[in-house]
């Protein structure tokens, strides 16, 4: 028993040493107040998703199962949501507008669901619907992950679109790391890609493979919490929660395996190792990883130039340490980290609005707009 304990301890320390050597730059904080914030929407406990219809008209999801339409700062509840399975980290999650929303009036939503009518729990699903004022019509289920489970962790989930007419969404491993993430015949721990109508693209990587979930685009993920399309390359960027240590940013590409739980820079919450491997053949390394974990959430690039020196930088919310993190990227490498609005609260999401400003969803506060001084 003593030998096993010493062996585990050695693996743990070697893993931590590897992280300390490879983990990118120390966080810097601004030396002067270059910005402030304004509360745009109040009274939302866990504001998960945000989607701007126009500068003064946006949709906000509340995880407990409410979709708000906020016009000129006034909240109205949208009616007609499908039944939502609320448990642990699951509930009403992300919301996004169809790329041609002005003509289609279609929105997309991810949420916990049980469409089977069983008593086995729920799983993450993707819906679309037509938004007419404050009412949803023509509600359609596009994808439902299976099997249902009563576990309350790792639902995901975010939604983005590429320029070729595809919708991407994420589903966490649902607390089953041993079976789901590495198995393409099972849902969970995956990024999915569908056509906008919910059909499977013919060029998805696992189309035609026996037993495969053909909607899967990449796999080996733990709990994806942020996704954004890079404004210049068009690539899908994703962040996900690691265990204790090992939160990641990944650049998603067709058919790739991102390794969870075979490789990780994190350890179990108990302090014991998950694996002694941080790399294996045919498994992708993260673009960036955090040790210690920051609990990343939504992510966005700042493209407008409204904020001095922030143009093209990546911003990621921190649930654990309650700040917004700015990451400066040069030559495909993070060269600087900075805390913005330190101790503001649990930052659940961040988006760049159509006016070029950054908007934060902060638990217990609502939606905040960052304003440069």
Average pLDDT over residues 42-57: 97
- Of 26-30, 125-129, 174-178, 241-245, minimum mean pLDDT range: 26-30
Q: pLDDT digits over 255-305, tens only?
A: 999 999 999 999 999 999 999 999 999 999 999 999 999 999 999 999 999
Q: Is 63 helix (H, G, I), strand (E, B) or coil?
A: coil
DSSP state string for 39-58: EEE---SSEEEEEEEETTEE
Q: Domain range for residue 114?
A: 2-372
Binning pLDDT at 50, 70 and 90, where does residue 29 land? confident
**Sheet holding 106-113: strands in order across?**
92-97, 106-113, 123-132, 135-144
Q: For the chain, what percent of residues have pLDDT higher than 70?
A: 93
Q: pLDDT digits over 58-87, tens only?
A: 999 999 999 999 999 999 999 999 999 999
Is residue 4 scored above 90 in pLDDT? no
Q: Just list the catalytic residues.
A: 154
Q: pLDDT digits over 166-213, tens only?
A: 999 999 999 999 999 999 999 999 999 999 999 999 999 999 999 999
| CB-CB contact of 265 with 289 (8 Å) | yes
The confidence score (pLDDT) of residue 301 equals: 98
Is residue 1 scored above 60 in pLDDT? no
Average pLDDT over residues 246-262: 98
The confidence score (pLDDT) of residue 27 equals: 84
Average pLDDT over residues 111-125: 97
Binning pLDDT at 50, 70 and 90, where does residue 7 land? very low
| CB-CB contact of 94 with 62 (8 Å) | no
* Domain at 307, CATH number: 2.120.10.30
Q: Which residue has the higher pLDDT, 345 or 24?
A: 345
Average pLDDT, the chain: 93
H/E segment holding residue 6: helix 2-22
What's the number of domains the chain is made of? 1
Dist CA 81 CA 68 (whole Å): 11
| CB-CB contact of 180 with 219 (8 Å) | no
Binning pLDDT at 50, 70 and 90, where does residue 22 land? low
pTM: 0.93
Q: How many CA atoms lie within 13 A of 48 on its CB side?
A: 24
């Amino acid at each position: 028993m003593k030998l096993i304990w010493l062996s585990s301890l050695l693996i743990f320390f070697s893993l931590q040493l590897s992280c300390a050597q490879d983990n990118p730059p120390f966080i810097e904080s601004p030396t002067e107040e270059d910005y402030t914030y304004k509360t745009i929407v109040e009274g939302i406990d866990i504001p998960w998703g945000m989607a701007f219809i126009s500068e003064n008209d946006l949709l906000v999801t509340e995880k407990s199962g409410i979709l708000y339409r906020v016009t000129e700062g006034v909240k109205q509840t949208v009616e007609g949501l499908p039944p939502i399975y609320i448990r642990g980290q699951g509930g009403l999650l992300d919301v996004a507008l169809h790329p041609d929303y002005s003509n289609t009036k279609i929105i997309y939503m991810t949420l916990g669901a049980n469409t089977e009518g069983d008593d086995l729990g729920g799983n993450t699903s993707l819906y679309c619907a037509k938004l007419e004022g404050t009412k949803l019509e023509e509600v359609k289920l596009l994808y439902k992950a299976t099997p249902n489970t009563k576990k309350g962790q790792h639902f995901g989930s975010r939604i983005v679109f590429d320029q070729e007419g595809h919708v991407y969404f994420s589903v966490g491993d649902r607390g089953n790391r041993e079976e789901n993430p590495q198995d393409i015949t099972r849902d969970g721990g995956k990024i999915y890609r569908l056509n906008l109508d919910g059909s499977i693209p013919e060029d998805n990587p696992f189309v035609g493979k026996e037993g495969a979930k053909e909607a899967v685009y990449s796999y080996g993920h733990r709990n994806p919490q942020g996704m954004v399309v890079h404004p210049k390359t068009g690539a899908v960027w994703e962040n996900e929660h690691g265990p204790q240590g090992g939160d990641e940013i990944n650049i998603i590409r067709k058919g790739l395996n991102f390794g969870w739980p075979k490789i990780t820079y994190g350890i179990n919450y108990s302090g014991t190792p998950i694996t002694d491997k941080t790399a294996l053949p045919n498994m992708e390394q993260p673009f960036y990883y955090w040790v210690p974990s920051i609990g990343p959430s939504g992510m966005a690039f700042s493209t407008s130039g409204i904020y001095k020196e922030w143009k093209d930088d990546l911003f990621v919310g921190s649930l654990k340490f309650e700040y917004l993190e700015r990451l400066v990227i040069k030559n495909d490498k993070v060269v600087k980290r900075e805390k913005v609005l330190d101790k503001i609260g649990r930052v659940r999401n961040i988006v760049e609005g159509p006016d070029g400003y950054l908007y934060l969803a902060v638990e217990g506060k609502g939606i905040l707009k960052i304003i440069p001084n």
